[in-house]
A = this chain, B = another copy of it.
Amino acid sequence: MKIAVLPGDGIGPEIVAQAVKVLEALRSDGLKIEMEHAHIGGAGYDAAKDPLPEATLDLSKASDAVLLGAVGGYQYDNLPRPMRPEQGLLRIRKGLGLFANLRPAMVYPELVNASTLRSDIVSGLDIMILRELTGDIYFGQPRGIRTLENGERQGFDTMHYSESEVRRVAHVGFQIAMKRNKKLCSVDKANVLDTSMFWREIVTEVAKEYPQVALSHMYVDNAAMQLVRAPKQFDVILTGNIFGDILSDEASMLTGSIGMLPSASLDESNKGLYEPCHGSAPDIAGKDIANPLATILSVAMMMQYSFGRADIAQRIEAAVRKVLQQGLRTGDIYEEGKQKVGCAAMGDAVVAAL
């Protein structure tokens, strides 16, 4: 298991350090794990004037999986766009062909009070959002700022999806649904967008190969409402890059504990990049108070999806559940009566529970 480790910026290094402890513990247990570190985001810019240095992309290509912390920091906010940290993220996704972004939104029984929603609405919540990650308006050409015939300026972008792009992510969606509750809701805006009308046509075609999965379609505005109204109606949500960006963040916040949510971004052969859903939180960086559990749970996803080791994934998830049951909490998920611990102590506790 050759793993590229890209800590990135802000709290990235400290949360990734805890996930690395978990990987090291698994190695002492006998797993053949090799890790190599490289820079991305602001750290890439600082080291090599590039948010995705060539060496980082090369290392990632040569690895079986990538573990990423987070990117972004105030000091990079005024750089020209191509130098900004998030460009590193967009480029590594595209560069590795990571078209399938899996973002679970689940509520741990121990943390149900962290949600801003009523507990009857969210307790037991367990949704998987599958967001297409290398197409759509994120990468469509032409785009830019142009001058119209009447002399005024206009900003523009192109949204598009080709048949093969929709088809491959739809297959991933149906396959995930088959392993879960066999319900797939495809989200689009087919009453307005041609891209969405096409998306819906292809998803409906692919569905014929998965007769056991109940497929539904929902407009994105309605999906944004239904996630607030009754999120437990969903099993797997399949959607494009931009709608997925919005809906997966909304869904993650329903749980109230975004510090607990991992993600996986996979290519055609299940090589993947694994990162927490949350950002680089520069305001709390270096203070040993960040929550490393989303990053540790990203290692669990890595074991499951890239290395086919669902057994190890379950061990890691069980260890995380155990520390929660022991009452350990980082500041973001703290509630009265529990024991507040720092980032490193939380990492150690998970290793001990493992």
Binding site for B on A (CB under 8 A): 81, 84, 86, 90, 116-118, 121, 137-138, 140, 143-145, 148, 152-164, 189, 191-199, 220-222, 224-230, 242-243, 245-250, 252-254, 258
Contacts and interface: CB of A to CB of B under 8 A. Distances in A.
B224 A246 contact: yes
A156 B164 contact: no
Contact of A246 (B153, B154, B221, B229): B221
Given A118-B118, A194-B145, A249 B224 contact: yes
By Cβ-Cβ distance, the 8 closest A-B pairs, closest first, are A155-B198, A156-B160, A224-B250, A155-B195, A225-B253, A154-B162, A221-B249, A228-B253
Given A117-B116, A221-B246, A246-B221, A160 B154 contact: yes
Contact of A156 (B144, B153, B195): B195
A254 B224 CA distance: 10
The complex is assembled from copies of this chain, and their number is 2
Nearest to A198: B155
What does DSSP make chain A's interface, helix, strand, loop or mixed? helix
B242 A189 contact: yes
9 contacts: A116-B117, A116-B118, A118-B118, A140-B156, A143-B193, A144-B194, A152-B162, A220-B246, A224-B247
A85 to B, nearest CB: 10
Contacts of A246: 220-221, 224, 243, 246
Nearest to A153: B163
Given A154-B162, A224-B247, A243-B246, 12 more contacts: A81-B191, A117-B228, A137-B137, A137-B159, A144-B194, A148-B162, A152-B163, A152-B164, A155-B195, A222-B249, A224-B253, A225-B252
Nearest to A225: B253
Most B CB within 10 A of own CB, among A144, A229, A242: A242
B161 A154 contact: yes
Given A154-B161, A228-B116, A221 B194 contact: no
Contacts of A242: 189
